[in-house]
Amino acid sequence: MRKTREVLRLYFELKLGQRQIARSANLSQSTVHDYLERFRATGLSWPLPAGMSEAELERKLFPADSSVPKPGAKTLPDFPAIHEELRRHKHTTLQLLWEEYRTVHADGFGYSRFCYHYQRWKQERDLVLRQEHRPGEKLFVDWAGDTIPIYDPSTGEAHPAQLFVAVLGASNYTYVEAAPDQQMASWIGAHVRAFEFFAGCPQLVIPDNTRTGVSKACRYEPDLNPTYQEMAKHYAVGVLPTRPRKPRDKAKAEVGVQIVERWILAALRHRRFFSLAEANRAILELLDKLNTRPFKKREGSRRCLFEELTGRRYGLCLSNASICPPGPRPPSTSTTISSSTRASTACPINSHGRPSKCGPRPPPSRFSIRVSAWPRMCATASLTPP
């Protein structure tokens, strides 16, 4: 029951302001303002006419919405069933469901009103918790659904190359790379090159439940792939897989994949590539444009926001990230360890923005660490795998 009468009493009899009324009645100030505006629009005066009940006052202040159909006028669609059909079958459209609805109810709503009422029903029930991301805390990674064709120079046969996408949570700064497949070597190598591109390591990496990352998916205690887990230990990062069938847990990656497909894949649709290195050079050029493209609803770009949050022109947040060590790093294979290989370091950043003193980190048991001449990622670097 609304507190309409109490709001009116406090306003007209006690002469309280809207903020005081809101605190007294445990309402928001906007709700109090709405009640008073509705009361003035009815033409009623205070005190209310004798014998006016709460129900009558409700009907005068809150008349039925003319946009909502009256009971019995037209049959409302079964919105929960429609929503379930759209969720279960990805190729189902509202147009198809509306035609099925009109088959049963010939005098039902038209398509536009059908969509309007469905969207209203969905907005009232589709509650979403907004996620807040700290700088340097999370890196969302995923494979894009679409691929880029790589042609064999001799036969002309096209081989689909996979697209690895990594997006920082706070700045949306994006990294993209074409890989020959989605196997473990490509998965680990893409992570390493993403860390080099960002010149640092986040606190957490958020993948989905791909087999190369998660051996056994679980809502509470997923089992990581041993190779993937050892890579995370080597770079001193945590891995937090999303819940199964919960794409909103990695919404940044989902949106990042969509943007990459629209602004990079679509721009390369007329070009033919004969090697991964050639494709990655073209991707890197468009990636630089993507990261410097101005935001539509806020000032700056992904790169500007990245540099603003990091406090420098490279690397991650000084308080929440780790330095990505140059030199030896785990390759994209899982082999035996060489005893003569030196270990790399991943020193955390202290509160003064400088690496803390720490000893060498032993190399993971499933990696063969080797020094590579593969160049550090920059605006002109090639993405040729080591």
pLDDT for the residue 143: 93
pLDDT for the residue 1: 56
pLDDT tens digit at each of 386 positions of the chain? 578 888 888 888 888 888 888 888 888 888 888 888 888 888 888 888 887 887 888 888 887 644 444 545 688 889 888 888 887 777 889 999 999 999 998 888 999 999 999 988 887 765 666 677 788 889 999 999 899 999 999 998 999 999 999 999 888 999 999 999 999 999 999 999 999 999 889 999 999 888 888 888 777 777 888 999 899 999 999 998 888 888 778 888 889 999 999 999 999 999 999 999 999 999 999 999 999 999 987 888 999 888 888 765 444 433 344 444 444 444 433 333 232 322 333 333 333 333 333 333 443 444 433 323 233 333 333 333 33
Q: How far apart are CA 30 and CA 8, in angstroms?
A: 15
pLDDT for the residue 324: 45
Looking at this protein, which amino acid is placed at residue 9? Answer: R
Q: How far apart are CA 167 and CA 314, in angstroms?
A: 16
Helices (H) then strands (E): counts for the chain: 12, 10
Collapsing DSSP to helix, strand or coil, 201 comes out as strand
Collapsing DSSP to helix, strand or coil, 83 comes out as helix
Residues for the chain: how many in total? Answer: 386
Torsion of CA 233, 130, 292, 143, to 10 degrees: 50
Q: How far is CA 154 from CA 180, 262, 281, 353, 362, in A?
A: 18, 30, 21, 52, 45
pLDDT for the residue 373: 29
Q: How far is CA 177 from CA 9, 331, 367, in A?
A: 65, 16, 22
Torsion of CA 26, 123, 253, 325, to 10 degrees: 0
Strands, DSSP E only, in 86-222? 138-143, 148-151, 158-168, 174-179, 200-201, 204-206, 214-216
Packing angle between helix 94-104 and helix 111-125, nearest 10 degrees? 110
pLDDT for the residue 72: 54
pLDDT for the residue 13: 84
pLDDT for the residue 22: 86
Instruction: Judge contact between 368 and 377, C-beta under 8 A.
Output: no
Burial-class residue 240 by CB neighbours within 10 Å (0-12, 13-18, 19+).
Answer: middle
pLDDT for the residue 51: 79
